[in-house]
């Protein structure tokens, strides 16, 4: 029996001890229908949600079962190895300027093309001009037995301590506290296996050493008396 018919039958039953207000059966039936519609709507929504959940779950499971998506592989990481080259001092020496080295054999020094023969000194050593000093006799001095014993560095060059032509006497003394005064300037003796020194020629505005205030020439030379290496 339909719910509406059952409700109407119930209200029309003469056995009810409570009098029923006219039209009450209609109101109750209408309310029952409203409740039933809500239940149907809720049931439909629940079914739709369940279906959506099942679909989403199926997709997730399908994703788990399939191959995983991975980012494209980049190039293999290369291991950078820094090679430190330790230069072995050549037999002819390793201290000098550019291609010229103190102690370098004369044949090797001439082969550089950096020097030009200009004559001999009073002790029989060979004198050369250089590309840095093309008009200077004895800019480079070579001993037949000891090799290169003097190198006059170009006026545009500087020592490892930043002293060059034009530097002040005060700067020389500050950078080289061990500098000693000589006839034409200052001498700085260096340590190490190779006995050599810097010679800083200085001159003042009056052209003499007495008022000297600026470096005018720098030489590197072996500490030897074999050649005529006046300071």
**Residues, the chain, total?**
231
* Distance (Å, whole) CA 94 – CA 193: 11
Question: Residue-wise pLDDT tens for the chain (231 aa)?
Answer: 555 666 566 555 555 455 555 555 555 556 656 756 766 555 555 554 444 443 444 444 344 444 444 545 554 544 443 333 333 333 344 799 999 999 999 999 999 999 999 999 999 999 999 999 999 999 999 999 999 999 999 999 999 999 999 999 999 999 999 999 988 899 999 877 889 999 999 987 665 556 788 999 999 999 988 898 876
Burial of residue 167, with CB atoms counted within 10 A of its CB: 0-12 exposed, 13-18 middle, 19 or more buried: buried
Residue 184 CB contacts under 8 Å (≥ 6 apart), including other chains? 199, 201, 202, 209, 230, 231
Tokens of 195: 């006995």
The reported pTM is 0.58
Per-residue pLDDT tens digits for 113-128: 999 999 999 999 999 9
Per-residue pLDDT tens digits for 171-214: 999 999 999 998 889 999 987 788 999 999 998 766 555 678 89
β pairing state of 115-120 and 196-204: unpaired
Residue 142 CB contacts under 8 Å (≥ 6 apart), including other chains? 106, 109, 125, 126, 127, 128, 148, 149
């Amino acid at each position: 029996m339909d719910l509406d018919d059952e409700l109407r039958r119930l209200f029309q039953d003469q056995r009810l001890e409570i009098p029923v207000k006219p039209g009450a059966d209609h109101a109750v039936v209408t309310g029952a229908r409203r409740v039933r519609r809500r239940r149907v709507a809720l049931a439909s929504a629940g079914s739709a949600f369940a279906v959506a959940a099942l679909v989403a779950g199926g997709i997730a499971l399908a994703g788990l079962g399939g191959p995983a998506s991975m980012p494209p592989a980049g190039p293999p990481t290369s291991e950078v190895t820094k090679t430190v080259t330790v230069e072995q001092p050549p037999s002819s020496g390793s201290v000098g300027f550019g291609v010229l080295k103190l102690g370098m054999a004369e044949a090797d020094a001439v082969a550089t093309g950096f020097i030009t023969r200009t004559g001999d000194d009073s002790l029989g050593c060979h004198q050369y001009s250089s590309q840095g000093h093309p008009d200077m006799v004895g800019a480079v001095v070579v001993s037949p037995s000891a090799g290169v014993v003097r190198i006059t560095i170009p006026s545009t060059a500087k020592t490892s301590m930043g002293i060059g032509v034009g530097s002040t006497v005060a700067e020389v003394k500050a950078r080289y506290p061990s500098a000693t005064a000589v006839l034409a300037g200052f001498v700085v003796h260096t340590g190490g296996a190779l006995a050599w020194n810097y010679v800083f020629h200085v001159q003042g505005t009056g052209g003499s050493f007495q008022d000297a205030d600026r470096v005018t020439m720098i030489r590197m030379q072996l500490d030897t008396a074999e050649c005529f290496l006046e300071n």
